[in-house]
């Protein structure tokens, strides 16, 4: 079974990662390198175990667009969205034996130093027939 692990962040997270201080200090080059090394090592271990399907980070919310349809016409809103504090920042897709194993993997992507940090784990459906279950 495949599972998608959804990672969340905020524009503020992207800002400190880019060296721009907010109400939090900007990350140092060493902190950024350590974060990248952790992600590389983490995903390499999943690749070696045969459980990694895909993993990607997403650009910062300022580069996003929200598309809605109102009265039959598309309405486009450029990001970031003031009403949204958190956005999807990236994902990892794994193929493993169980939801419990996917959850165990996901725990390695939660930043223990981020208060209230979390990721979501969701099964990936193979087709519409999976919706009935």
Q: What is the CATH number of the domain that holds 41?
A: 3.30.70.1060
Confidence class for position 52, pLDDT limits 50, 70, 90: very high
Report if residue 43 sits inside a domain: yes
Report if residue 95 sits inside a domain: yes
Report if residue 133 sits inside a domain: no
- The percent of residues in the chain predicted with pLDDT above 70, rounded, is 95
Confidence class for position 55, pLDDT limits 50, 70, 90: very high
**CB 9 within 8 Å of CB 87:** yes
**CB 19 within 8 Å of CB 26:** yes
Q: What is the pLDDT of residue 3?
A: 97
**CB 4 within 8 Å of CB 115:** no
Q: Is the pLDDT of residue 18 over 70?
A: yes
Q: What is the pLDDT of residue 126?
A: 84
Report if residue 132 sits inside a domain: no
Handedness of CA 29, 34, 35, 40 (dihedral sign): positive
Most confident of 20-24, 57-61, 103-107: 103-107
Report if residue 42 sits inside a domain: yes
Boundaries of domain holding 102:
2-126
Report if residue 113 sits inside a domain: yes
Report if residue 131 sits inside a domain: no
Structure tokens at 1: 């079974």
Mean pLDDT of 62-90: 85
Q: Is the pLDDT of residue 39 over 70?
A: yes
Residue 50 gets the label, from left (phi > 0), alpha (psi -120 to 50) or beta, of left
Task: Quickly list DSSP for 94-112.
Answer: EE-S-HHHHHHHHHTTS-T
Q: What is the pLDDT of residue 4?
A: 98
Query: What's the structural domain count of the chain?
Result: 1
User: Would you call the peptide bond into 80 cis, given omega within 30 degrees of 0 as the criterion?
Assistant: yes
């Amino acid at each position: 079974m495949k599972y998608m692990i959804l990672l969340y962040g905020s524009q503020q997270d992207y800002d400190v990662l880019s060296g721009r201080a907010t109400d939090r200090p900007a990350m140092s080059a060493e902190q950024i390198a350590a974060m990248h090394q952790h992600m590389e090592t983490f995903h390499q271990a999943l690749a070696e175990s045969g459980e990694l399907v895909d993993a990607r980070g997403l650009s910062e919310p300022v580069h996003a667009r929200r598309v809605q349809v109102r009265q039959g016409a598309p309405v486009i809103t450029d990001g970031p969205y003031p009403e949204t504090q958190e956005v999807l920042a990236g994902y990892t897709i794994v193929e493993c034996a169980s939801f419990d194993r996917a959850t165990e993997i996901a725990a390695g992507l939660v930043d223990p130093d981020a208060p209230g940090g979390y990721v979501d784990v969701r099964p990936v459906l193979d087709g519409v027939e999976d919706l009935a279950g």
